[in-house]
Structure 1
């Protein structure tokens, strides 16, 4: 099991672009000794999402992949049903708006009445009846190999990203087996997940054989979104909330947290974890990545 080879962003379908224009800027300050210092800090800007002629929400985002963010947000909130056809998605960079246009009316008026705020960072928006959609969720009995978990964590942690360059950001990665496919980042972990959902919807990508990896906490909303996307495995380098664990067990989702180096904790679906790798052969996480992780 090779865990030290150099990571090539070209191996991803979509990889982070830490050098992308407008994603960060350099800010001057002083350090703990009073010495002048500079730091790369992540930019954030508002993005207003419209569904047909209705304004839905304004999200704070880093600004990349706005079309995927809009599509994924609407899908994950249940505002775009499987029976609805998206005719086009229009992004206006000058107005910071995305308009998703469908071929007919949707149920968004009713959804807007049930909108609430959650503990999620950045937009963190959830609708009161998202839980109702879980009743119809039937996740496949997907197994996960520990060799795949270790390889994914190592590869993702060494991939050039805004997370490593500046911190203060969350990453979410769609994976299959031991290969990371699409790596999205944003100031809110929910935004990053929505970008993944939007890409999957736009490209018609199947979910049943995928794993979702996140740098953020495994909260109830993260679990709900993953389940509604049809992804049977959710892993994170961070920890859990009790409700997140409860919902994961309810929908038969394999939930793995605190994945750092050779260590992890599975609180849902432990019988589907196959230990095919010796933890003693897995190197500890680098100090450099631990420091970046503490800043995020």
Structure 2
């Protein structure tokens, strides 16, 4: 067993600046294999940043539909070795038996959320209906997104990781998690919300990436009614957001953005409220 790896590492490099090349160094994010095991059986191996691992374990189980609450996942044991990190979980409340019936394995590259799924139907499984009446002001959403860079500590060091954040418009609180993979960052965020007892239905998921269908699926499974991102969505992401009732905001640049689905939740000069 080895110590838990750090989230970043300073390495030497040759930097060319103003036509001059000289020795330099840069802090870069760490990337390591992380295995999720349930009842001693490996479910998935993801390449990810080894930070906020308890959040990652719980959030992954939630967004994958393996559990409905962090209590169902039980305690998380983190085991580090030279080969990577293993997150050991024993599902409770009959979940272990249900898991054994649907067991699948996958080996994914950075942030891959679909690798190894055994059928096309599993990749597009039904999402919960989001009939949440949350509304937020456009100005508040813009301001929340503008705060993200200041909260991305690892990215300030490395300039190489994604972030997922949760903005609660009622308290204006911002919870941020980072990873080399955008899906991993959202899983960590989901775990952080669950472990802190924060209801995803009361706020907005913010992403520093494009919006793929996997992000919509994961956000829907934790009950987030709004997802917003700095880059564009895929067509499948838009179709899924429309179908499940999620408001999808993308291409957020400065004070500009585009709303692709269920625009009624984004209001001009109106305070946030939940009906």
TM category, shorter: 0.7 to 0.9
CA displacement 1:48-97 (0-9 Å, x = unmatched): 11111111111111101112111111221112245973331111234611
Distance 1:167 1:270, change over 3 A: same
Q: Does the CA-based 8 Å contact 1:47-1:98 persist in structure 2?
A: yes
The residue correspondences of 1:51-200 to structure 2 (distance < 5 A) are 51-81=38-68, 85-94=72-81, 96-103=85-92, 104=94, 105-113=96-104, 122-126=110-114, 127=117, 128-129=121-122, 131-134=124-127, 136-177=128-169, 179-200=172-193
Structure 2 unmatched ranges of 5 or more: 271-275
**SS at 2:60's partner residue?**
helix
Distance 1:273 1:83, change over 3 A: closer
**SS at 1:216's partner residue?**
coil
Distance 1:52 1:203, change over 3 A: farther
1:209 aligned to which of 202, 207, 218: 202
Distance 1:158 1:85, change over 3 A: closer
Distance 1:130 1:75, change over 3 A: farther
Paired residue for 1:29? 14
Distance 1:21 1:98, change over 3 A: closer
Deviation (angstroms), 1:257: 0.7
Distance 2:40 2:254 in 1: 48
Distance 1:158 1:237 in 2: 15
The residue correspondences of 1:144-293 to structure 2 (distance < 5 A) are 144-177=136-169, 179-276=172-269
Distance 1:124 1:139, change over 3 A: farther
Structure 1 unmatched ranges of 5 or more: 1-19, 278-296
Distance 1:82 1:41 in 2: 34
CA displacement 1:163-207 (0-9 Å, x = unmatched): 233222100001101724311000100000001111222233212
Q: Does the CA-based 8 Å contact 2:155-2:161 persist in structure 1?
A: yes
Distance 1:228 1:125, change over 3 A: same
Distance 1:21 1:63, change over 3 A: closer
Distance 1:194 1:150 in 2: 23
Q: Does the CA-based 8 Å contact 1:25-1:43 persist in structure 2?
A: no
